[in-house]
Structure 1
């Protein structure tokens, strides 16, 4: 971006940025009504009280760096209604023609006041392929709730410092969380334009929609057996990333990986994911299962049988290979 009104790394205040960009004096996400911007304020001290860290992931991927920012809300976070105003502004920033401008509190205040200094990090946009993830984190009262973690990509030059990097975990932990902690359970608002949405978030593919339906169907089926499903949220030692498995049958200690297609590529990916997750699950050594939307070919069924991985699939009327009612 050119002609930036604020230089990168500048130490400033919310009041000063309000004069430059508009917006309000409070809140972590501040949409402006007078300029095409959404101001995002990250306060490490406040975030760490609730067990999360905003900042750069330690390792760049093939598309460059990612800045994670946890959304707004002390209860289950949402995109809809009044409580979802800030999160919705981030999600729809492209539709609204707004840039995301990120600031980080420095931990120091203006002398003689409670006003926190802010450092300008740069202009960002949502990651096109994975705009956000959903996790379970405690709020300030220690109550677990669902949080939206946005994945922001630099949209130009940016100020990146070592202290802005999310620290790696000291230990590996695997915690069971409700099965509805998933993007399929998050209600996204309709685009606010009559034309096709152009927001950064890529539309869900047919396979992803099929996987979400398959998950809902299987959870309903298992609930009928008196076996509500859960998931594992895994934090790996030495990594800042968080893994979220697919469904877990706590009663039978079975870890399921779901796929929206029954192709060889999908089955091979599911196998790799299950073998990775199984190393971190507690209690150890769960049985493994793959859940597919249709019957795979005989060679893939033979592969799963050799590996001792259970196969369950939907035949259009029932789940074949699933526990009996």
Structure 2
């Protein structure tokens, strides 16, 4: 008989509401170890997040089967067909037993299921860890996990009030909270650039956030940098805010990219001092980060650096010369299109921290936006690049729909595609596909 941990992210499935409505849990979504889950296996149920923890235990009652998610009203998005393991809950906790209870337990120092909660269910539990969970059911919660998170993306709050509620330092860009399981991150170009903090969306879709430390090389010896890097294993949520003083705006919850959590870069010391090594955390959005209509879209256009080359050590990068060529072509295409838009009298912008990571955009009127994705094209990558670009633009339109009267999508490519079908396909989904020489098609006021 095996023992497992099943994790629930309530940004995806509202387990608390499910229980409050008197529903009975009879199965749970699983994505791996499908042939190993068998009747009689025991499991614990875990809810992720700062107010989460151990919430129950039960038994598996059969082999997993593929079926539609049910009941769908408790899912944030329709999950579609998934594998589900049938089960029975034998005990629910009166309140979650927080991660802190297990954090320093020697039984969780190696191969801890709590370190891989971002992965698909189920998670293996060793015999010693299972004993620790059973002890926790007997003894109950060890301590209060702190105040529950109350801000929604786009809401504003005084920074002082934020720290009064959740803890953490009122100064600096990274603030690990003592009162709650959060790390608060503040990004503000108005004050950050003078200290060498250049935070921005990167071309891989991650938000690059500069680490803590204004002078000398940045290291992971500081509490802010180490807690940001290790937030998953520490059970901490990363909360990103726009602004650094006075009123700040909550952007949403983020996580370090599990495949490439950070990279190293160079930036000047505070006050324009000498260049030093800095940490650039690669952050990905977690759950809902869509902003309300009151949040403006875009910020001043940031010229893409056409001289930057990819590092040879990048994972999966085998042809450095080709990758450099594609990256240079992409950035030149972007800058040339931005320059043409400005010549045409358009207000060109780059995405702000609260926006999806489009390449550039412009306004035809105060209420009408155009967002553009730029793609270099070679004969080898044409199909892949066009597919990716179309998908990105549809996502941008959907996420910005409530923040503008209309959102027009432009896919700007290096040259005319080999197959004419791409023009018809883009037209069907409301995307303008164009390339150098067809600027009038994308700047026309329709």
TM-score with structure 2 length normalisation?
A: 0.36
In terms of Rg, which structure is larger?
A: 2
Relative to the length of structure 1, the TM-score reads: 0.48
